[in-house]
Structure 1
Amino acid sequence: MRNPLLAAVLSCAFAAHAATPSTTFADVAAHLQAPPPDARPMMRWWWFGPAVQKPELEREILAMKAGGIGGFEIQPVYPMALDDAARGIRNVPYLSPDFLDAVAFANRTGRANGMRVDMTLASGWPYGGPHVTVDHAAARLRQAVVEVAASATSVALPAVTNGETLIAAFVGTAVDPAALTPIALRAGLDGRAPIAPANMPRKVVAYIASRTGQQVKRAALGAEGFVLDHLSRNAVDHHLATVAEPLLKAFGDTPPYAVFSDSLEVYNTDWTDDFAAEFRKRRGYDIVPHLPAVFTGQGPDAAAVRRDWALTQTELANERYLTPIDDWARAHGTRFRSQTYGEPAVSLSSTRLVALPEGEGPQFREFSFTRLATSAGHLYGRAVISAETWTWLHSPAFAATPLDMKAEADRMLLQGVNQFVGHGWPYTPPGTPEPGYAFYAAAVFDDHNPWWNVMPEVTGYLTRMSWLMRQGEPANQVAVLLPNDDVYASLVPGKVSLSAEMHKYVTPALTGRILDAGQNLDYIDADAILALGVRHPVLVMPHVTRLAPAVLDKLAEYVRGGGRIVAVGGPPSLAPGWLDAARVSATVAAQAQALFAHPNVRVVADDDAVGAALTAVLAPDMRLSAQVADVGFVRRKLADADLYFIANTSNHPVHAQASFAAQRKAAAWLDPDSGRMTAAVLPARLDLAPYESRVLVLADALPAVPAPVAATTEVADLGRGWTLRFPGQDKAQRLDTLRSWTDVDATRYFSGVATYEKEVDLTAAQLALARLVLDFGSGTPLATTPKVPAGMRAMFDSPVREAAQVWVNGRHAGAVWHPPYAVDVTGLLRPGRNRIEVRVGNSALNVLAGRALPDYRLLSARYGQRFVPQDTALIAPQPSGLLGPVKLMGAATR
């Protein structure tokens, strides 16, 4: 164990490192051009094998830094190649001295270069490995049914194996709680238990505390084994001692910025060794007689008992998994970053137990794991809320483009994310054919990607928006009550997850109606209401039937203080759990009836009516003259300003007038790419290209800023007469018209950066225009319902495939990687002849399409099949280069 005084000092240093949110716009404006580096995106860094070498580790760290990436999370996973001394590939066991030495080197090198370094406390996911014995493995309760003849006077009890215990057995005519009676578990020497004879065949139903058998997913060499029991403190403590302690020792006196736990995917878990005893202590009754109701869902008590059974699992996960790991992290001078959703059934308020909440998923118009994390952060005061981003972006690997990245990132920002963790960066050994390694089911964002030349601009956008969305305070006006007790009551053995079932209550229709009413939203749950009250002006209750009397007391206090409730369906009427349910249900019904009689409570029949009810009680935070469902916003509130991030999430342009609830004296548009501001007039004219985003600043006072100038006059058509040069070619190609270089056999499978050059003559009169812009075309929307294998993508064909850097007369003008595909060249052109150079990076799919796929047969024979590359049938050459039209556009003369 490290020095506790040193750990405390490091902990304080960590807290000081996290930037305090600005409270005034003057503070914000001072950092718009160069936001603090702690807002830069990170990358999940996959170490395959692990088989890593220090020179390549250093090279990749420096490449990340050069690309504007602020740090990395080390994630050791499965081998990608057999040992090969000639290539320097040697797979070493997880936690071996060589592996820990590589971790130490990466930490030193990253820190020396100003990078954030995080470490996952396992290999693969969920936590587990060879140190997890069967008694510490993820647990479940299984049901065994044995047919018994009518005349039988004894029954053979089910056999149990290692890690199993027979909990209870029942006999009856059917697997139905009403038809079953318990039988004694005392068996004779022959292993049979006595039962009374009957005049008809029966069934013996036994309940056995067992193990899921789940193995760690995508484990590194030497990390294979059972997933640990997340409801067992002994199992968690053993993991921390066996895995986490050696990892942290490798970091020496500079612990990681954070330690990480991925989404909880402990499939089929619903029990632990002392579950029955813990249940009795917490719920006040014995669950064992109710196990048939838990499994069958039959009988009047089944739903209430299931609620108690599932809630107990949440409490155990909170107390035995989340809390001890967070405590351990703090004691070691770091912080616990956790994706707190999945199974076991952790809740929104479980996230209060971790320092750094993290979400996943871009579904901003439906129930979202990302909004779970951001809502918890808003409620419980976590200033930085991250998201695992681009997990399933535009499959197969290497298909994702910078525009795809922005399309998903904007949806994350709309949900309140302000730290991106990219998924991800694959370590690639030197000598690997381009474009290098890829994780089996994810996009690739490393410097082997041909469009890497624009990564600094991509990360610059992400950094500026992440930092901006940390300033001030969150300002969502609507809270949606997550009906945890109703969902608990519906859960079944083998699938105990609040987050997996919540979409049945927080439906796309409900979310869409709230957003279309000009609002953004947070989730809230009963625990948060009891601890914090409700701070939002309006609370939406979606078909809530089970609610504790104490929560109803809080809601009554809320409406008396001016809060508004929009309830879908009717008032709650049921006790959350089983104990004393009749009396508690009567209390709930009476309290709810009184609450719903208050004039501040509106009841609507269904989700579709929520929008109108909201509009009747709350002015839209952002109102558009034309209802455009794909335009979203999120607001941050400062003492003297409001910041609205506004994004078009669609593949079509948007034109509308926008008005805002925030009342300030001055307005300005903020360019997310540059941080520069131009004047705005309210109501604001909102003109957004496909997937474009902007920031509106409403402030009590703003410095003088220029008026926006639109370049709408064609100065010159530049669509012809380009030359195109590929690396290694002495002779450039002359292009009469612009077209994809895949149309030519010689370059169909080329992936890389090719250079377009053109000279253009301009007059002094043409250069007198107020603004000059190189416009590369508008692009083409794709059909909105194509088959996307997994995740999402931007449904748009760019006129620049896939991204480019632009130079004018030897000076860098900017990059094009998202709509509008235009670069401001004002001041870079001169009378007479001008030279324009466009360096275009395309997709790595082209080079992959030109050769056979790797054969992993021998790798799988050696290590077992630990992965299958995803959607490889879709690998094909993609259109590449400048596709046109290209024009020089100008604004009105000065």
Structure 2
Amino acid sequence: MNYRRNYLLALLIASALTGNAQTNVWPNVTKEMKPWTRWWWMGSAVDEKNIAASLKQYEHVGFGGVEITPIYGAKGFENKYIPFLSPQWLQMLKFSVDEAKAKGMGVDMNLGTGWPFGGPQVTADYAATKMIVQRYALKRKEKLAEKIVVKEAKQADARLQALRAIAPDGKQTDLMHFIAADGTLNWSPETENADIIAFFAGKTRQAVKRAAPGGEGYTLDHLDKKSVDVYLDRFNQAFAGKQPGVRAFFNDSYEVYGANWTPLFFQEFKKLKGYNLEDHLVELTDKSVQNERVARVKSDYREVMSQLLQHNFLDEFTGFAHKYNALSKNQAHGSPGNLIDLYAATDIAECETFGSSFFPIPGLRRDKEDVRNVDPDPMMFKFATSATHTHGKKYTSSETFTWLTEHFKTSLSQAKPEVEQLFLSGVNHVFYHGTTYSPEEAGYPGWLFYASVNFVPSNSFWPHLKGLNEYITRVQSVLQSTKADNEILMYWPIYDVWNNPKGLDMALKVHDVDEWLHPTAFYKQSLMLSNKGYSFDFVTDNILSNAKVVDGNISTNSNATAYKTLLIPESDLMSETTLESIISLAKNGAKIIFQSLPKDVPGLADLETRRAKFKQLITSLDFKSEGGLKRYRIGKGEIILSRDFVPALSSIVVNREELTDKGLKFTRRVENGNVYYYIVNHSKDDFNGFVKLNVQGNQVVLMDPEQGDAGEAEVNGAQVRLQIKSGQAFIVKVAKEKSALNKWRYLGQELAATKIETPWNLSFANGGPELPAARKLTTLKSWTEFGDEKANRFSGSGIYETTFNFSPKSQNEYVLDLGKVAESARVWVNGTEVGIVWGIPFEVRIGKYLKKGKNTLKIEVNNLMANRIKDLDEKGIEWRNYHEINFVNIDYKAFNAKDWKLMPSGLLGPVSIKAYQ
């Protein structure tokens, strides 16, 4: 059956019950439920007049807050730059906070400029640090002729931290007592030749990237507490004990390059691992040696680095934020550490989308020349959301739409599935990337940041942005008012990742998932579970060490929903303490499933003792074959060994949601006995039928986040009827108690379609550089096909108006199908606004607006900025003139649009009214 032809998602429900007001099922909206946006302050050249005007515009289209990040400035405005943290800058911050508060908005602040953290307070002593290793060869009885000093340029501050002689049999001699202050080595090998390893703590000399005036300087040593305290003290002095009033302080993604050391690393390593890392310089630094011992030493090194980053940086950062009654917000990806634990170290974990994903939604534009060869991976988002869920925290945020498409070519319809993918992964607090502050005097197109989708008032989709923002607000109102209802914990075997003899620090980057994530059984099993309809979060050794069993379920936090089981995918290494914790959970009533048993403990510290304990624990697992599975029953619970997770899950009654078999995706949430399903159709096919849900209640409510409508669903036992077209989303509430609601009006068979063939009057408004002449159209086509140069370069609104005769029947419903729209529309029928139609499918229900006889139809269509920018570049008009990187295209090359093809613009149709039974 052709559902696309015969069925349509019910978008509208009657507004009242006869004699009763309809229950409002949507949560009351807070500022956090609305989308926020990163607010770039170029050169911090801001003033009160333009701040107030900007925030008014942002509030009008539905933003709930801004995140201030100062960066480099625009050329020609240097006399208006305000140094970061100067009294004038702090006054602009205070004005922004007060102005936003008056509008019901919030303000977050990057605790630095550009990225990563650094600045003028970071002298060389506190700057990001790296290993510098030099090797020398000495023959028997020979003295080293040269002095042991750093040879690398610009490393005058480097400090010698270890000096070892390595004999051919591997025996080491500590030479630190034999070296003079000037670097002269007063030692020679007595019996045989020796290799000398000199180990220095040097500086990466990385500077803050995209720094704003007053924020220039070295990147911070994030691993050193004293360095972090020095960094934070600048803010303490600037704030002078006063509360800045920001909601949260923000730290961007960890892009600290080559910082694989800190001056106190040897001491910290000894405290945490119990042995001297100086004794293992060969394993740590010799690239020609790659064996198991090397991997173990480097695993310990990486684990210590992770702990230093968490305790010396993120814990300090969070403590600082709390001191000022603010939250801490951090992007952990890219860090050399356990990402989940690092995400969990702050109040709000923030992930990031970079690039665009492919969705087989018919009509969704994806031009290969306008997208990066990067696909955001939803499993990567789950590292952040899992940290939130397992710790019982409220928000997971996302830097959203970074480089979604080439500049000026991103439509609202392209943004929709990308943000939906975040919601499905558990994100519930979206930040756009981004909005650049721009003063009125900057003119068109205003100041713009090089890596953003430009969510700015000069963008021609701005008048329709409220449609996307209201959709996000409704979805987030549910996601923020509920808790994640994931049944499974999936163990992340971080030690398998760290146990690699290659390299040194291991930065787990978004762009390197093909190396450290995709090849693993952990990833493959997670993908399988997701596709089959299971709900899960990732869990770490640290989280498991604090987990408890409550009523047979695993509780990771008293504020989190408990989990029914723990899955351990195939992995080689597991610490004996984690294995012991897992067995203890089973003994206390938990159900644990191993894909295979781990083989050994990680690291080198106290290896044989830990191995003996590990072997003892493994040997204690006396599995018995039962029902096609191997089971070990212990205490109140059990441990199952199964290569295939699915039958094992079924055996302990952890059931999948079968709706994924229909091509639908979902995330499930709970609140006060009510269960919410956020369901999205990203497949190529429409869906019309019944789906089985694993949860039942006294009422099932369908909620449309695009239009805000709601109604009682048709159910058949545990099955719920859905009509959801490709590209659309629903929220299904399985309610604990019944409430007064209309029945959801499902649409039946399509009866007829009436094509609008009357002439259209087209006029132009709200754009530039010039308004094309008004015209009458007998056929709908792109503005770029008029043969009118003004229309070719125009970006803004085209107003289409027509009249037509119609005879609606009361028993039918009618849907306006706009056909192809380039790129978004607002619709009026008979003078009444129906709504903004901004995403695929470009359809809206209009039955209650139609009347018998003459009807009027008005459609405001907005195109994108591309054609106007092309015109500017063709004419050589300079509009991009910034310091540092200036303005680049999606491939990070100089931006120029003069050779672009004109983008289709306007209402392309065909426009028709479809009648449904």
1:677 shift after superposition: 1.8
1:842 shift after superposition: 0.9
Residue 554 and residue 769 in structure 1: after superposition, are their counterparts in 2 closer, same or farther (change >3 A)?
same
2:430 alignment partner in structure 1:
420
Residue 245 and residue 488 in structure 1: after superposition, are their counterparts in 2 closer, same or farther (change >3 A)?
farther
Residue 168 and residue 714 in structure 1: after superposition, are their counterparts in 2 closer, same or farther (change >3 A)?
same
Q: 2:813 aligns with which of 768, 771, 780?
A: 771
1:758-798 deviation digits (Å, cap 9, x = unpaired): 111112xx242432221113xxxxxxxxxxxxxxxxxxxxx
Q: Is the 8 A contact 2:657 2:693 kept in 1?
A: yes
Residue 508 and residue 187 in structure 1: after superposition, are their counterparts in 2 closer, same or farther (change >3 A)?
closer
Q: 2:862 aligns with which of 836, 841, 846?
A: 841
1:305-330 deviation digits (Å, cap 9, x = unpaired): 22222222222222221112211221
SS at match of 1:205: strand
1:520 alignment partner in structure 2:
535
SS at match of 2:525: helix
**Corresponding position: 1:887 with 2:877:** no
Residue 203 and residue 627 in structure 1: after superposition, are their counterparts in 2 closer, same or farther (change >3 A)?
farther
**Corresponding position: 1:583 with 2:609:** yes
SS at match of 2:402: coil
1:173 shift after superposition: 8.1
Amino acid at match of 2:321: A
Distance 2:276 2:191 in 1: 31
**Corresponding position: 1:56 with 2:50:** yes
2:94 alignment partner in structure 1:
104
Residue 156 and residue 461 in structure 1: after superposition, are their counterparts in 2 closer, same or farther (change >3 A)?
same
Matches within 5 A, 1:8-87: 30=24, 32=26, 35-83=29-77
Q: Which runs of 5+ in 1 are unaligned?
A: 1-27, 778-798
Distance 1:814 1:579 in 2: 65
SS at match of 2:130: strand
1:748 alignment partner in structure 2:
792
SS at match of 1:883: strand
**Corresponding position: 1:814 with 2:835:** yes
With 881-890 and 184-193 compared, the bigger mean Cα shift is at 184-193
1:153 shift after superposition: 2.8
Q: 1:554 aligns with which of 569, 581, 585?
A: 581
Distance 1:411 1:241 in 2: 39
Amino acid at match of 2:760: W
With 558-567 and 427-436 compared, the bigger mean Cα shift is at 558-567
Q: Is the 8 A contact 1:164 1:208 kept in 2?
A: yes
1:448 shift after superposition: 1.4
Residue 730 and residue 170 in structure 1: after superposition, are their counterparts in 2 closer, same or farther (change >3 A)?
closer
Amino acid at match of 2:575: A
Q: Which runs of 5+ in 2 are unaligned?
A: 1-21, 358-374, 549-553, 556-562, 624-630, 633-637
Q: 1:671 aligns with which of 687, 692, 704?
A: 704
1:464-503 deviation digits (Å, cap 9, x = unpaired): 1111012332111121111122323337555333566344
Distance 1:846 1:216 in 2: 35
1:175-209 deviation digits (Å, cap 9, x = unpaired): xx958765456235873325546999865332211
Amino acid at match of 1:277: Q
With 460-469 and 35-44 compared, the bigger mean Cα shift is at 35-44
Distance 1:186 1:720 in 2: 96
Residue 821 and residue 34 in structure 1: after superposition, are their counterparts in 2 closer, same or farther (change >3 A)?
farther
Q: 1:877 aligns with which of 887, 892, 902?
A: 902
1:60 shift after superposition: 0.8
Residue 227 and residue 369 in structure 1: after superposition, are their counterparts in 2 closer, same or farther (change >3 A)?
farther
1:457 alignment partner in structure 2:
467
SS at match of 1:361: strand
Amino acid at match of 2:814: L
Distance 1:81 1:248 in 2: 32
**Corresponding position: 1:825 with 2:846:** yes
Residue 365 and residue 223 in structure 1: after superposition, are their counterparts in 2 closer, same or farther (change >3 A)?
closer
Residue 726 and residue 625 in structure 1: after superposition, are their counterparts in 2 closer, same or farther (change >3 A)?
closer
**Corresponding position: 1:681 with 2:718:** no
Amino acid at match of 2:742: V
2:544 alignment partner in structure 1:
529
Matches within 5 A, 1:644-723: 644-650=677-683, 652-654=685-687, 657-678=690-711, 679-682=713-716, 683-703=719-739, 704-710=741-747, 712-719=750-757, 721-723=759-761
Residue 660 and residue 865 in structure 1: after superposition, are their counterparts in 2 closer, same or farther (change >3 A)?
closer
1:300 shift after superposition: 4.0
**Corresponding position: 1:231 with 2:265:** no
RMSD over aligned Cα, in angstroms?
A: 3.0
Amino acid at match of 2:677: Y
Distance 1:136 1:302 in 2: 29
1:53 shift after superposition: 2.5
Q: Is the 8 A contact 1:361 1:368 kept in 2?
A: no
Distance 1:856 1:136 in 2: 41
Q: 1:371 aligns with which of 375, 382, 401?
A: 382
Distance 1:615 1:800 in 2: 47
Q: 1:263 aligns with which of 253, 258, 268?
A: 253
1:403 shift after superposition: 1.5
2:130 alignment partner in structure 1:
140
1:580 shift after superposition: 2.0
Amino acid at match of 1:756: Y
2:311 alignment partner in structure 1:
319
Q: Is the 8 A contact 1:150 1:197 kept in 2?
A: yes
Q: Is the 8 A contact 2:27 2:481 kept in 1?
A: no
1:519 shift after superposition: 0.8
**Corresponding position: 1:400 with 2:410:** yes
Residue 581 and residue 651 in structure 1: after superposition, are their counterparts in 2 closer, same or farther (change >3 A)?
same
Residue 287 and residue 100 in structure 1: after superposition, are their counterparts in 2 closer, same or farther (change >3 A)?
same
Distance 2:246 2:909 in 1: 47
1:232-278 deviation digits (Å, cap 9, x = unpaired): 112111111213542587xx556111111112222222221111111
1:83 shift after superposition: 2.5
2:371 alignment partner in structure 1:
none
Residue 80 and residue 203 in structure 1: after superposition, are their counterparts in 2 closer, same or farther (change >3 A)?
farther
1:574 alignment partner in structure 2:
600
Residue 126 and residue 244 in structure 1: after superposition, are their counterparts in 2 closer, same or farther (change >3 A)?
farther
Matches within 5 A, 1:325-364: 325-361=317-353
1:388 shift after superposition: 1.5
1:429 shift after superposition: 2.4
Question: How many residue pairs are counted as aligned between the two chains?
Answer: 825
1:378-409 deviation digits (Å, cap 9, x = unpaired): 11111122121112212x22222212221111
Matches within 5 A, 1:629-640: 631-640=664-673
Residue 596 and residue 302 in structure 1: after superposition, are their counterparts in 2 closer, same or farther (change >3 A)?
farther
1:865 shift after superposition: 4.4
1:827 shift after superposition: 2.1
1:391-433 deviation digits (Å, cap 9, x = unpaired): 2212x22222212221111111111111111111011222434
1:736-779 deviation digits (Å, cap 9, x = unpaired): 2222212234212211111111111112xx242432221113xx
SS at match of 1:372: helix
Residue 122 and residue 625 in structure 1: after superposition, are their counterparts in 2 closer, same or farther (change >3 A)?
closer
2:395 alignment partner in structure 1:
384
Residue 276 and residue 705 in structure 1: after superposition, are their counterparts in 2 closer, same or farther (change >3 A)?
same
**Corresponding position: 1:441 with 2:483:** no
With 543-552 and 359-368 compared, the bigger mean Cα shift is at 359-368
Residue 625 and residue 502 in structure 1: after superposition, are their counterparts in 2 closer, same or farther (change >3 A)?
closer
With 704-713 and 453-462 compared, the bigger mean Cα shift is at 704-713
Distance 1:888 1:148 in 2: 89
Q: 2:802 aligns with which of 742, 745, 758?
A: 758
Distance 1:152 1:771 in 2: 97
Amino acid at match of 1:870: I
1:592 shift after superposition: 3.0
Identity score, percent = 26
1:856 shift after superposition: 8.5
**Corresponding position: 1:276 with 2:296:** no
Amino acid at match of 2:836: A
1:489 alignment partner in structure 2:
499
